[in-house]
Chain A
């Protein structure tokens, strides 16, 4: 891209625009629901809450309760999950040099969900801050799954698309079967069958701010650290050997990138269960528009992924209201055909 010459200003401008779009999406999503609240009131209430301003109340007290107890945690969680999944997608795609690597497709999400289910089976005494070991177990589950898939899929120093998809599919299938078995056998999980179901289908579940207080630092911190690694991801596009020739410590960075991707996936899974294809569709679209430089791609995909999932979740809870569709069903409806299209195109280009 020509504009790369003055890349700093361009980067700042693009990210500021995307941030603006994300905020607008958050406002729209927070406005709609069983009770609609005007976006202007949302801004005023939020600013009052933070303590910057003292707008006189032009809204009802119940609106405030709905906004801060229900609506905002939900939309913020949506933004966090979308950002995390899109960033994880960028990390996995960059490191595996494979535009089809998505946390859901390569089994990372299933690993995270397996870990989370395991944690949910434990007696409540393990819980802390109403969330317990779930995010930690999800992280380790995701990491174990991605390492397994990566090692299974690796053929002679490369990770071909076909073997990655097969390994991801097999590992996912195994983990989801194990999860379903655990759910069937566990009395504790039977009691919360409905939320388990939305977990498997991918639905955003937050009851209050305490979960977000735990997950948000993981996701935001993860994305910031990933941004530090972005220029190494650029070098990785030349392959592991090519990256090494450019001075990259390949083995160390590979582990760091897989670890970060697992952290982001695990954190997202803890809030939403198995939401698929966000990490595939969003980075791909952003790459088409902004180019493949990971230093811009990573933060831009994170912001776009946040906006994307906020809107998808808004649709999921409003189109058939009062029935709520798990948002994972919506993302799969958009993402799976897109994946098939990419697969066809990739096959033509690279012939696997």
Chain B
């Protein structure tokens, strides 16, 4: 369980400002999507929340303690990140990759203990990759690899799970599978989830709260039906769309019509 707050957070890469004066509070157990066009600052915000980048100005607090004051290791014991994809240069098996998730808990000369192996087993069962354990990570399909990374993140026993476009390179069946798994973790384990998402419809279906970023500022923040409107999408993405109702769920569904047919 985690409460996250950002006060007046700004970030620049050397001279290029990316995020401006972000104020945000996220409660325990929320499932929040960050949306916005490329370059709007989604990924940067994920990196700031993971503590890998430090805000140029402002403070991020995680359960009351400032991210600046926490050691990397301490952050990694609470926050796990699933990036778009990992490239693995050596022939690690999937199980060995999942085991890497225990890194924040290991001391220099000690090996993993029974407890760590149990966590690996549990997490692999939960994600449904137990049978892939002995396969080489590099030889798996994109979706299988991403599930492996999700299992690795879960082994960190995170209170906060950050996703950086976790479904960007996946087929539609794997997109749904990954997001179903994430939703399960949120609902059943109470893990707070914050994900940068590219696909607005998937975000509307899976996330309770959407934050729409435009040029490094929060443009809209609220439940999907409030955030995804024809007006906001026009404003933020400069795209003309129609917003319909999902046929079976209480979620907005965005429909595009080509200019030429």
Contact = CB atoms under 8 A, between A and B. Distances in A.
Contacts, number: 81
B86 A247 contact: no
- Interface SS majority for chain A: helix
Interface residues of B, number: 35
A292 B90 contact: yes
A227 B110 CA distance: 11
Interface string B53-81: 00000000000000000011111110011
A89 to B, nearest CB: 13
Contacts of B88: 237-238
* Most central of B86, B103, B106 by chain A CB within 10 Å: B103
A228 B91 CA distance: 22
Interface in A209-262: 227-229, 231-232, 234-235, 237-239, 241-242, 244-249
A8 interface: yes
A2 B97 CA distance: 14
Contacts of B100: 234-235, 237-238, 246
Contact of B104 (A234, A246, A291): A246
Contacts of B106: 231
B38 interface: no
Contacts of A4: 95-96
Contacts of A231: 103, 106, 108
Interface residues of A, number: 32
Contacts of B232: none
Contacts of B260: none
B104 A237 contact: no
Given A228-B109, A231-B106, A287 B91 contact: yes
A129 interface: no
B83 A248 contact: no
A245 B76 contact: yes
* Most central of B50, B89, B106, B134 by chain A CB within 10 Å: B89
Nearest to B89: A97
A69 interface: no
Given A234-B103, A291-B91, 11 more contacts: A4-B96, A99-B90, A231-B103, A231-B106, A232-B103, A244-B72, A245-B52, A245-B76, A249-B71, A292-B96, A293-B92
9 contacts: A2-B134, A99-B90, A229-B108, A239-B86, A244-B50, A246-B101, A247-B71, A248-B72, A287-B91
